[in-house]
A and B are shown apart, each in its own frame.
Chain A
Amino acid sequence: MTRHTIQSIREGLRAKEFTAVEVAREALEFAERENPKTNAYLLLCPERALAAAAEVDRKLAGGEDAGALAGVPMAVKDVILTKGVRTTCASKMLENYIPPYDATAVERIEAAGGVIIGKTNCDEFAMGSSNENSYFGPVRNPVALDRVPGGSSGGSAAVVAQGTAVVSLGSDTGGSIRQPASFCGVVGVTPTYGRVSRYGLVAFASSLDHIGPFARNVRDSATVLGVMSGRDPMDSTSADAPVPNYAGGLNGDVRGMTIGLPVEYMKHATGDTVDRIHEAVAKLRTMGCEVRDISLPATDYAIATYYIICTAEASANLARFDGVRYGYRSSASGTLSEMYRNTRGEGFGAEVKRRIMLGTYVLSHGYYDAYYLKAQKVRALIARDFTNAFQTVDAIVAPVSPFPAFRIGEKVNDPVEMYLSDIYTITGSLAGIPCMSVPCGTAEGGLPVGLQILCNHFEEQKMFRLAHAFENS
């Protein structure tokens, strides 16, 4: 299983070395055996997987096109709805929730022949940077089992690193794909805001939420993103910009590309991470890229801006969990309003409560202008920094995280310290630009380090081309 890529499965199916059902069976068995090491899967769905795989085999036998992801075993973060397959958001609140419909991304993946074998663990409602906020226990980093895999999409990063899925889907609001990708040594992509429909993604912060892929190489991540992208009438913010053939554009041609290295992004990073980024920059130069220092001056205000906006939006989005239409309901007796308060008090974990409280506070009377409105203005400045930068550079490179994977429990009692691990990823999220993490070596102890590549809106193709050339250099 661990050696497979989308391409190797396609070739194996074509050469009749194996069938899609055989690959799915092998993947399910391997995942079941390996999962206790990491706790990355919350659930395997063999019935659904084998049915999807059988459909691929049927199409291939009939000479039909089985799709770009034909027979590829994949995992889906448990904040993305799968019809009939339990989707928990890693929360007690949705412990028994069975979605009545599929997310658009899931529908498109399966229409392209993808075989979803299970749902992955994550921070509760995608709120966290270490995957320690899951109601179902933390995920362990497959590279170093005493360390976190990053978060919030820790399970989706871990399954790809562990080889228990070939590719996976995660969601990113402030770095929840890129940071775990960097911690686990895999590729993780946050596309342009609106590139992938959010329909069926349980909402955390609607103006910042993205669905994106994890993969073991850039080409696979480009293929998965291509399948999911495009206008969806079910998400009014999904963009109807054309979807280029991302995987087809990986021609290695990066000579003459200009790349910016933001000086503000090197300030908080620790020794090994800084060294790896400088080595990556040197490599990009030998590949024919011109790398120059740039400044994104509003960066220092990004964390405050992000945590005001995302908590404000979260406090509104999570109001729907009130014990009436779905999810947990407190068994304590009382009036309707007591039922709401008890249900939410018992059903949400500590970090989710913290964010609901913070979001409610910054939106409350007397504080709205000072916090929420101010943050929206600073968000505009952060976005403007990028607009200005992309007038002179094709791409920006930076660390993904200031430090590699930390130990489980190390930062769990200090939310401010934990929020700092998002410092380099939230700027791109606030601006809505495409960004990704691609492995660039290891720090002490063999811990992976990720290089972040950021491009202008809808320039995924350029971003993938650079990442692919870097990966193969």
Chain B
Amino acid sequence: MKRIIASFVAAAALTLCGPAANASGQKVAAAGAGVGSPVSLTLPLKDGSVRFMVVGDTGTGGRAQNQLAGVMTRYRQAFPFEFALLLGDNLYGGEKAADYKTKFEDVYRPLLDQKMKFYASLGNHDESNQRFYEHFNMNGEEYYQFRKGGVSFYALNSNYMDKRQLKWFEGKLEGDTADWKVVFFHHPPYSSGGKHGSEVSLREVVEPLFLRYGVGVVFAGHEHFYERIKPQKGIYYFISGAGGKLREGDVKRGSPLTEKAFDRDLSFILIEVVKDEMHFQVISRTGQTVDSGVLVNRRKNASTDSE
């Protein structure tokens, strides 16, 4: 299937971005791209890998959110990610049935029709009742855990990190033998955002657990931009909060936390986990790759990378 796509796209016209090579050195471009930029994949597409998308702060129902969703759908043709993590603020401005429809279902209909699952976490614009919604797969809980291959995922409710949730979280982490532990929630423990910034009180209570139990990667939203934070005490942090809203220019320039940031347009992240490597590619609303790379599982490999 990969070869079919690769040969098709190799023959397709190249447009704005020009060709890019994935980890195998294959140039992949417009695979049924339709309107807009070509699909340009940097991910390796290995058999048996865990593939997912990460996006936050989506729920506007606006034109930009819809455009970004179109890019997601196009990329899924080249990189069939199995599921998506939602980082909160899934619905803005209301929780009526019509809001679910216009701000989520209609926007992601092509992905839902392909049986692509969303796993949601709650943001500060989200009511607790979203945990019952069929397409958020929260199983009626504000915080929950699930496993895909060698990756354990923890969705937390950072609006309300109380003793009960922390006890649950620690209890789950204690017995978790997965190679990768990925945690996702709304408020970022580390951030270079001008509007919000790092959630220090939250970090005080969750970071010790991350460190003690080998959490490798943390995804958060709330800030309406993309930022890859420099590893903090061996943990990788991402902010992906520009799924529907953008706060242009909000990343503080020269922040000591920033490894890479993009605050000029909406974006989402594609992830592929292949054993001890987590490949990522960040794609904008216009289909540009604004960040990409590979994370190595530090917990397993006791990396000597400096921070």
Does A associate with B in a complex? no
